Chain A
């Protein structure tokens, strides 16, 4: 049996890292075109894709462009021509991609792009951190953050369905942590090809905007300035984009639910509430740090503490309602960011949680923790400190500035 036939038909288990898991997800989603440019820590992902294409496992045109700006521009053309498209990048690559990146959601192109997260320069750093993905959190892409290697594979597959849903039609970033997920090796279950084909359906990317001689249209014309109908036209498109984002909250939930039914693996779609039933206080996490944080919550629980955890998977659109409900019964919250909001002297996720708290009738202490920058390890000891500091805020001792977790690590 050829490698292609084998990959397409046999459900099986592999042992691989997060980058290869993402590449397997791409194989199963059967895109028509993949464009890539290598950059740490995403490089092994595009190497895997190139290898799969060379071996005939991935039946897609792989374009090795001269830089990330071209990568996304090539894919815009492909998507407008009806192709299912995929790419992946990190840190400086994402920065170089920015111009076509901001156009993609406005054109309502349902692409999928992995961000293998990396701290931004400078200081010089090739290690993990969410600063790159967080810096583009309000450009209009949907952002999903993975906790495990298995979740990367499953989320890449789901991302195509979410993006191409006709009530969403927005590009999706599947974010997975550089180092801890990109190079962390795990057992990963691969679904068979046929049920994935059934789950995703045929590519549906250009029914609404197209480069197609049979449907001649001007793509992205100038809308016009003040004194004419232009600004009203512009506002209508912007509002449509916002509605697509809000629709995505429902579609993400439905997609995760159906994925769970079909493939037997259930991932929390918007947020995951861990031991929150009777929690007095909670910590909020995002990405791969969550595993160690859950262990620390278990330890605190074993010592009689009523601690809980909320993990954010869908960061954009922000699941305001789900977060507000999860926080409704706790008396203090600590938010752990793997990135910095320079304008607010805190983590960016902390700002979002404050907004959710603002919709509650009562006020509770909320703390910002910044940890795991530049690939620093966030261990159960770090989370024990996060939990203890948050618990102390119950009785009034609340730090006024963010707590920098790895400041004294050696």
Chain B
């Protein structure tokens, strides 16, 4: 867990049957429920950065010769694959 700028709110004094609130962050990341995974064809990637611009969760990572993905935060939406002008990104089904 990352360090927080301020401690989370202690709700111990509030009855637990009043209003639905959450005071503990969920450890789940989008990668935990992804069904399709982007895979880059390094030979086709020209580093135009269109995927980097379009990614809604900013999971695109710049490598020396191509762009890749942080699979912990990638939710598998496929926008990068749809927008890639080189058709360099394939969406591959995650293993069950």
Q: Which of A169, A219, A236 contacts B21 (CB 8 A)?
A: A219
* Interface residues on chain A, size class: 20 to 34
Q: Which of B6, B15, B23 contacts A240 (CB 8 A)?
A: B15
A292: Cβ under 8 A from any B Cβ? no
Q: Which of A209, A215, A233, A239 contacts B19 (CB 8 A)?
A: A209
Q: Is the CB of A215 within 8 A of B9?
A: yes
Q: Is the CB of B16 within 8 A of A236?
A: yes
A217 and B22 in contact, given A208-B14, A240-B15 (Cβ under 8 angstroms): yes
B1, chain A: closest CB distance, angstroms: 15
Q: Is the CB of A108 within 8 A of B18?
A: yes
Q: Can you name 17 A-B residue pairings with CB atoms under 8 Å?
A: A106-B19, A106-B20, A107-B20, A108-B18, A169-B19, A207-B14, A209-B21, A216-B8, A216-B23, A217-B11, A219-B19, A220-B20, A220-B21, A221-B21, A236-B17, A240-B17, A243-B17
- 1-60 of chain B: CB within 8 A of chain A: 6, 8-9, 11, 14-23
A237: Cβ under 8 A from any B Cβ? yes
Q: Which of A207, A215, A216, A237 contacts B17 (CB 8 A)?
A: A237
Q: Is the CB of B18 within 8 A of A208?
A: yes
What is the chain B residue whose CB lies nearest that of A243? B17
Binding site for B on A (CB under 8 A): 106-108, 169, 207-209, 215-221, 223, 233, 236-237, 239-240, 243
A209 and B18 in contact, given A217-B23, A218-B23 (Cβ under 8 angstroms): yes
Q: Is the CB of B9 within 8 A of A237?
A: no
A209: chain B residues at CB < 8 Å are: 18-21
A108 and B22 in contact, given A217-B9, A217-B11 (Cβ under 8 angstroms): no
A221, chain B: closest CB distance, angstroms: 4
Cα separation A118 to B17 with both chains bound (whole Å): 35
Per CB-CB distance, the 5 closest pairs between chain A and chain B, nearest first, are A240-B17, A218-B22, A209-B19, A221-B22, A108-B19
B8: chain A residues at CB < 8 Å are: 216-217
A106: chain B residues at CB < 8 Å are: 19-20
A216: chain B residues at CB < 8 Å are: 6, 8-9, 23
A239: chain B residues at CB < 8 Å are: 17
What is the chain A residue whose CB lies nearest that of B11? A217
Cα separation A219 to B21 with both chains bound (whole Å): 5
A213, chain B: closest CB distance, angstroms: 9
Cα separation A106 to B18 with both chains bound (whole Å): 8
Cα separation A223 to B4 with both chains bound (whole Å): 24
B51, chain A: closest CB distance, angstroms: 30
B12, chain A: closest CB distance, angstroms: 12
Cα separation A108 to B19 with both chains bound (whole Å): 6
Q: Which of B6, B9, B18 contacts A169 (CB 8 A)?
A: B18
What is the chain A residue whose CB lies nearest that of B14? A208
A85, chain B: closest CB distance, angstroms: 16
What is the chain A residue whose CB lies nearest that of B24? A218
A218: chain B residues at CB < 8 Å are: 21-23
Cα separation A240 to B20 with both chains bound (whole Å): 11
B85, chain A: closest CB distance, angstroms: 37
Cα separation A221 to B23 with both chains bound (whole Å): 10
A362, chain B: closest CB distance, angstroms: 38
B23: chain A residues at CB < 8 Å are: 216-218
A237 and B20 in contact, given A215-B9, A216-B6, A217-B9 (Cβ under 8 angstroms): yes
